[in-house]
Structure 1
Amino acid sequence: MTNWHERWTSQQTGWHRAVYNDLLLKHWPSVGAAASSNVLVPLCGKSLDMDWFAQKGHTVTGLELVSRPVEDFFEERGLVPEKEEFANLVRYSASPFVLIQGDLFNVQPAQVQADAWYDRAAMVALPSSMREAYVGQLRALTRAGAVGLLITFSYPPHELEGPPFSLPDEEVEALFSEHFELECLERITLEDERGRGLSSSHSAVYKLIRR
């Protein structure tokens, strides 16, 4: 937890992008989210992708551990959110955005029931030991029939000490197959990651439907 606070404070946020994610733009139409869905974005940071969902007519619920990016998100958009503290969480809201700051595992189903979800950088931020609990929490915070888009990153795990942690296809299938329908929409070989010292790396895009 301290590590993520330090990264945001020191602006070591290589995962943050100043443009919309191209794989989101390409594949979200295939997900089939209904108009005006509430889209859940776990470990959202201050992602511009949340603006894209809002422009498409969706409401957005973001979950973020660190307060700095949450406050920056609203300030950079000229929004003054209502702020409510409960348990170990802080809820910031300014339509169409609700961002909940704190440990995502403390969020209760009574607080969030999303129609759709989007994960570009959440699962790869978590070590394997936490991923089963993450998938369980994702299921708890979404409605039956909720649709999702998952973007992964995988590499030989001995070549890089994460985060991001490698998330191979077989782990995705093992974690999601019991409670979600799973379809791989695209697999990509990433040539631009060799600068990290990786001999190979791949990204995969999945469409998921919660059973």
Structure 2
Amino acid sequence: MEFWHNRWYEQQIGWHKTVFNELLVKHWPAIDVPKSCQVMVPLCGKSLDMLWLAKQGHTIVGLEMVEQAVEAFFFENKLDYSSRGSNSHIRHTSGPFTIIQGNLFDLEDGILQADAWYDRAAMIAIEIPERPAYVAQIRSQTKHGATGLLITFAYPQEQMQGPPFALEDEHVIQLYSDGFEVECLERLNLDDDKERGLSNVTSSVFKITRN
């Protein structure tokens, strides 16, 4: 994850959008969770999507490793916040928002028990060998029956070293085959990314339910 620390340090954060993700807005109703539920957002950065989720009445728990990203979220949205915790994991809180700063993979088992989760850019930021450990953390930090919305990004991996790393539909189904139900809500063919030399680019939206 040193790569992402460097990207934040150099302010090369083009993956962050200035509007809410349209696929989140379109498909979140399919997740069908109560307004008062807790939504976990792994590798949240300073994503505006957390604001949209909070406007639905949800309590948001973001997980982020880069301190600069955490500070940017609260500063840019004019949110006063308090901080507490150890050096390994610090909780930053403001109203419905809590961002836990630290290594996602080192979180204590079951510390969150979230009702739902949202992943637009976490799995594609994680190298392929680390993805099973990521899914294990999703299982550990959510309740039985929790539902998640996963938005993927895929391309022939040989076209680019990554990140973002390609995440094919088949890989999603394989990773979540044990203890989850997976439903594809939409699959899109995207325009070629000429700047990065990518073709045959796709994005899929999945509803994932923990058994």
TM more than 0.5 = yes
* 2:83 maps to 1:88: no
Matches within 5 A, 1:47-196: 47-86=47-86, 88-196=88-196
> Matched residues, percent identical?
52
State the match for 2:30 in structure 1: 30
Deviations for 1:156-183, whole angstroms, at most 9, x for unmatched residues? 1000110000000111000002111110
- Letter aligned with residue 180 of structure 1: F
Name the CA distance, whole Å, in 1 between partners of 2:179 and 2:80.
38
- Letter aligned with residue 10 of structure 1: E
Q: Unpaired runs of 5+ in structure 1? A: none
Name the CA distance, whole Å, in 2 between partners of 1:46 and 1:105.
20
* C-alpha RMSD of the superposition: 1.1
TM-score normalised by length of structure 1: 0.97
Q: CA deviation at 1:111?
A: 2.6
Name the CA distance, whole Å, in 2 between partners of 1:54 and 1:199.
35
Deviations for 1:165-210, whole angstroms, at most 9, x for unmatched residues? 0000111000002111110000000114243211211000000110
Name the CA distance, whole Å, in 2 between partners of 1:109 and 1:53.
24
2:110–2:140 CA contact under 8 A, matched in 1? no
Number of equivalenced pairs: 211
Deviations for 1:116-139, whole angstroms, at most 9, x for unmatched residues? 000000000011100000000011
State the match for 1:199 in structure 2: 199
Q: Unpaired runs of 5+ in structure 2? A: none
Name the CA distance, whole Å, in 1 between partners of 2:79 and 2:37.
21
TM-score normalised by length of structure 2: 0.97
SS of match in other structure, 2:45 = coil
